[in-house]
């Protein structure tokens, strides 16, 4: 090895063209934070590079779709790259398919510290500290007719660590024998380390979560390679807002105040840990969830209103986005056996569930098949088998709430 310590930031997936999804009603006091979240998270990545005084920054694609992000995103990246340029911190960027939309990337002139890796061939660059070479940076951007393969980057170990920068994840066989010290991967919103031994393969994920499924901390990775070639990674949170998906285990007939106490305690703990605005999506599970007061949508909505008043306007805010019941894994027999409108409805749902080939005919409920943006109606009406089961389960929950007699004993 080179006998030198190397420190660099690895980031990916800025998605400056994206907006946060899964919010039915955007609270006015959080609107600006929500709109600017991808930019604020990306800016923190560059701030961390400056604060940590790293040797360089590697970017594994999916920074922006320029056709949707617009001039603001391009100007933002240029400004952030220039900040690093003033401190002589190089940037090595493996551009993804998204980054190369409409071929715009090659038409721009970036600050002199930015090296966009070519897509037609592998490029290797010597990274120097003064006159001394301390690392070999190699990689390639995405190409539509040339698939990324690990064999392109494998070689004999050199005098300095070889660091590969890629815009996606790839299959790496015998990573420890590849001659590569660090594989910088992209292509995922969530962080992942598929290999960690003598050689490390790592994807830092996106600096910001964009939907409820992206729960938990998001950020960039500070990578440390010691003089003996050992690699350590440390996740640095950069998310502007954080999605949380707390699960509640409800028992039959549980008191509303008991659940409220638990929810208050959970959200206080989450806010203390995160130290940033939270977007909280509650999910009620447990065998007794349909026998509890929270089986009714009105009770869940009332609970959300209380939580929003208590925690949604503080600094930082803890905004409860939704409160849902986990879909049933199967329809209960007593629901289908009822001699009632609810029973009739549940039997219809059961029949659709049992007959996979029976068409749902969702197009019949669309008032207008001309959807915005030229989106075909089939995008909403064609449902795969797995999604079909989820849809039918959700329909059962809705029917249970809307068709059950208010005076009836909870099932």
Check: CB of residue 81 under 8 Å from CB of residue 90: no
pLDDT of residue 45: 98
d(CA 61, CA 323): 35
For residue 230, being part of any structural domain is answered with yes
Among residues 209, 237, 265, the one where a domain terminates is 237
User: Does 12 share its domain with 141?
Assistant: yes
275: left (phi over 0), alpha (psi -120 to 50) or beta: left
The count of structural domains within the chain is 3
User: Does 217 share its domain with 349?
Assistant: no
Q: Which domain holds residue 89?
A: 6-237
User: Does 82 share its domain with 224?
Assistant: yes
Of the candidates 128, 203, 199, 209, the residue with the CA atom closest to the CA atom of residue 168: 203
For residue 88, being part of any structural domain is answered with yes
The CATH number of residue 160's host domain is 3.60.21.10
What is the average pLDDT value for the chain, to the nearest integer?
90
Among residues 181, 208, 237, the one where a domain terminates is 237
pTM: 0.88
User: Does 297 share its domain with 360?
Assistant: no
Low-confidence ranges of the chain (pLDDT < 70): 1-2, 366-375, 377-380, 405-411
User: Does 30 share its domain with 136?
Assistant: yes
User: Does 277 share its domain with 407?
Assistant: no
User: Does 230 share its domain with 246?
Assistant: no
User: Does 187 share its domain with 335?
Assistant: no
Check: CB of residue 64 under 8 Å from CB of residue 99: yes
User: Does 125 share its domain with 105?
Assistant: yes
CA 96 to chain centre: 17
Check: CB of residue 209 under 8 Å from CB of residue 38: no
User: Does 167 share its domain with 195?
Assistant: yes
d(CA 165, CA 235): 18
For residue 78, give both structure tokens: 């240029």
For residue 34, being part of any structural domain is answered with yes
pLDDT of residue 2: 57
For residue 1, being part of any structural domain is answered with no
pLDDT of residue 410: 46
pLDDT of residue 158: 85
Distances (CA, A) of 147 to 47, 166, 368, 392: 33, 11, 41, 39
For residue 107, the 8-state DSSP code is: G
For residue 134, being part of any structural domain is answered with yes
For residue 89, being part of any structural domain is answered with yes
What is the enclosing helix (H) or strand (E) of 401? Answer: helix 385-403
> Can you point out the beta strands (E) in 307-387?
318-325
d(CA 5, CA 171): 28
Among residues 279, 308, 326, the one where a domain terminates is 326
DSSP helix/strand/coil, 276 = coil
For residue 53, being part of any structural domain is answered with yes
Q: How many CA atoms lie within 13 A of 297 on its CB side?
A: 9
User: Does 179 share its domain with 65?
Assistant: yes
Give start and end residues of each alpha helix (H) in 235-357: 256-274, 297-311, 333-337, 341-354
In degrees to the nearest 10, what's the CA dihedral of 134, 139, 141, 143? 160
User: Does 279 share its domain with 338?
Assistant: no
d(CA 45, CA 12): 10
């Amino acid at each position: 090895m080179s006998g030198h310590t190397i420190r660099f930031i690895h980031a990916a997936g800025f998605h400056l063209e994206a907006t946060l999804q899964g919010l039915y009603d955007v609270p006015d006091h959080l609107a600006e934070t929500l709109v600017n979240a991808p930019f604020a998270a990306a800016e923190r990545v560059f701030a961390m590079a400056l604060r940590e005084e790293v040797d360089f920054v590697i970017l594994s694609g999916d920074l922006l779709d320029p056709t949707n992000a617009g001039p603001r995103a391009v100007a933002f990246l240029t400004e952030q790259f220039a900040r690093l340029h003033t401190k002589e911190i190089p940037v090595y960027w493996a551009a993804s398919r998204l980054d190369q939309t409409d071929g715009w990337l090659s038409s721009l002139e970036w600050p002199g510290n930015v090296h966009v890796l070519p897509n037609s061939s592998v490029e290797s660059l010597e990274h120097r500290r003064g006159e001394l070479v301390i690392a070999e940076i190699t990689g390639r951007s995405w190409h539509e007719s040339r698939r990324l393969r690990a064999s392109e980057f494998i070689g004999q170990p050199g005098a300095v660590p070889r660091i590969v920068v890629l815009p996606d994840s790839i299959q790496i066989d015998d990573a420890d024998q590849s001659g590569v010290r660090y594989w910088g991967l992209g292509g995922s919103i969530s962080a992942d380390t598929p290999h960690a031994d003598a050689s490390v393969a790592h994807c830092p994920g996106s600096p910001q979560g964009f939907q409820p499924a992206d729960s938990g901390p998001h950020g960039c990775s500070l990578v440390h390679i010691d003089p003996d070639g050992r690699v350590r990674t440390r996740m640095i949170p950069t998310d502007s807002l954080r999605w949380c998906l707390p699960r509640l285990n409800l028992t039959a007939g549980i008191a509303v105040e008991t659940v409220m106490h638990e929810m208050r305690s959970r959200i206080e703990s989450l806010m203390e840990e995160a130290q940033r605005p939270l977007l909280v999506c509650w999910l009620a599970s447990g065998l007794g969830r349909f026998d509890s007061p929270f089986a009714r949508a009105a009770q869940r909505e009332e609970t959300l209103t209380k939580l929003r008043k208590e925690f949604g306007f503080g600094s930082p805010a803890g905004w409860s986005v939704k409160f849902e019941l986990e879909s049933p894994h199967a329809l209960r027999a007593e629901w289908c056996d009822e001699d009632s409108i609810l029973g009739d409805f549940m039997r219809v749902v059961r029949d659709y569930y049992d007959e996979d080939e029976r068409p749902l005919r969702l197009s019949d409920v669309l008032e207008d098949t001309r959807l915005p943006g030229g989106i075909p109606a089939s995008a909403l009406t064609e449902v795969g088998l797995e999604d079909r089961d989820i849809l039918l389960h959700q329909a059962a929950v809705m029917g249970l709430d809307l068709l059950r007699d208010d005076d009836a004993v909870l099932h």
